[in-house]
């Protein structure tokens, strides 16, 4: 523990690590750039499919098969394969991250909508709501806690795994880890790992705030 604290103090206490292209702010900005882009793509691909299949009740088997197939993909192996096929670039980095994030978003949005009380759906239909209105105004607010759990899981997985970008010469908080291992500079390794942990905790905090802001008090109370 003393050695670990020493490495942390050495990394974060070095003024050179707080400025320039290799500085902590730059690495964090790069890391969250990859994370945000992969997360947005994942949400755009998986969320509408999960919500609509949950609403219509059709395609549930396909959703499960797709999610399980994506979970089975080895993230680092897929990255290496894409680099071999297409060369160094942003796409080989994003594809494994998106594949990693799709299953929890897809499954949680599907299960969240399917878990809504049918009586609520019938009442909304009886009020003359269209199919889209029932989904967005009646079902989604009730399913939102579970949907947010899936999005939170995806975001944490992306932010934790985005360190692999450094393996193909990209930046982010994985860069200190890769460089530190190459140089046997364990202060860099520990510092990079600490930054990755901080990023994950920050994502958890963001989703905790979103949950308080977006989920209605009544729905929150029913799940407590």
Residue corresponding to tokens 């530190």: 180
Average of pLDDT values for 63-86?
Answer: 78
Lowest mean pLDDT among 16-20, 58-62, 133-137, 149-153: 58-62
Taking Cα atoms as reference points, which of 20, 27, 25 lies closest to residue 174?
27
Is the pLDDT at 222 greater than 70? The verdict is no
Question: What pLDDT score does 89 carry?
Answer: 78
Nearest residue to 134 via CA among 143, 125, 142: 125
- The overall average pLDDT reported for the chain is 87
Residue 219's pLDDT is: 74
Q: Considering the entire predicted model, what is its pTM?
A: 0.90
The residues near 178 (Cβ < 8 Å, ≥ 6 apart) are 166, 167, 192
Spans of all domains in the chain: 1-221
- pLDDT given at position 75: 78
Question: In angstroms, rounded to a whole number, what is the distance separating the alpha carbons of residues 144 and 157?
Answer: 20
Confidence band of 79 (pLDDT split at 50, 70, 90): confident
- The model's pLDDT over 175-202, given as tens digits with 9 standing for 90+, comes to 898 888 888 888 999 999 999 999 999 9
| Residue 137: pLDDT over 70 | yes
Q: Which one of 1.20.1250.20, 3.40.50.720, 1.10.3720.10, 3.40.50.1400 gives the CATH number of domain 1-221?
A: 1.10.3720.10
pLDDT at 58 over 90: no
pLDDT in tens, 87-136: 777 888 888 899 899 999 999 999 999 999 889 888 888 888 888 889 98
Higher pLDDT, 65 or 137: 137
Task: Report how far residue 117's alpha carbon sits from residue 114's, in angstroms, rounded to the nearest whole number.
Answer: 8
């Amino acid at each position: 523990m003393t050695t670990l604290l020493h490495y942390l103090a050495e990394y974060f206490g070095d003024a050179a690590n707080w400025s320039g292209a290799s500085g902590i702010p730059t690495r964090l900005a790069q890391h969250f750039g990859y994370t945000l882009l992969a997360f947005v793509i994942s949400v755009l691909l998986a969320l509408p499919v999960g919500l609509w299949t949950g609403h219509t009740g059709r395609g549930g088997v396909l959703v499960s098969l797709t999610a399980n197939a994506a979970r089975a993909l080895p993230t680092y192996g897929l990255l290496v394969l894409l680099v071999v096929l297409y060369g160094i670039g942003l796409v080989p980095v994003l594809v494994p991250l998106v594949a990693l994030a799709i299953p929890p978003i897809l499954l949680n949005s599907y299960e969240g909508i399917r878990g809504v009380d049918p009586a609520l759906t019938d009442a909304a239909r009886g009020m003359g709501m269209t199919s889209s209105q029932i989904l967005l105004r009646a079902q989604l607010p009730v399913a939102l806690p579970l949907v947010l759990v899936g999005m939170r899981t995806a975001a944490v997985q992306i932010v934790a795994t985005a360190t692999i970008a450094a393996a193909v010469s990209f930046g982010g908080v994985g860069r200190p880890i890769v460089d530190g291992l190459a140089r046997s500079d364990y202060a860099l390794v520990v510092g990079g790992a600490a930054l990755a942990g901080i990023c994950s905790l920050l994502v958890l905090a963001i989703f905790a705030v979103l949950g308080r802001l977006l989920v209605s008090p009544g729905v929150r109370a029913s799940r407590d």
